[in-house]
Amino acid sequence: MQKDPICGMMVDEKTATLKSEHEGKAFYFCSSGCKAAFDKDPHKHAHH
């Protein structure tokens, strides 16, 4: 399980369809809205 970096919801990376990569690390999302927010400013959300 991976934590959605936007909302904090736990997402199963084996079944997740929404994924982005930033600096070689994969991030998984519960919704397209969370993925869009991450993709707009990935550095801000990837480095909490």
What is the per-residue pLDDT across 1-48, written as a single tens digit (0 to 9) for each?
Answer: 999 999 999 999 999 999 999 999 999 999 999 999 999 999 999 876
What pLDDT was estimated at residue 42? 96
What pLDDT was estimated at residue 46? 87
- CA atoms lying within 13 Å on the CB side of residue 35: 14
Cβ 30 vs Cβ 4: under 8 Å? yes
Structure tokens that stand for 32 in this block = 């397209």
What pLDDT was estimated at residue 48? 61
What pLDDT was estimated at residue 47? 76
Measured CA distances, 25 to 20, 22 (Å): 8, 5
The C-alpha atoms of residue 1 and residue 13 are separated, in whole angstroms, by 6
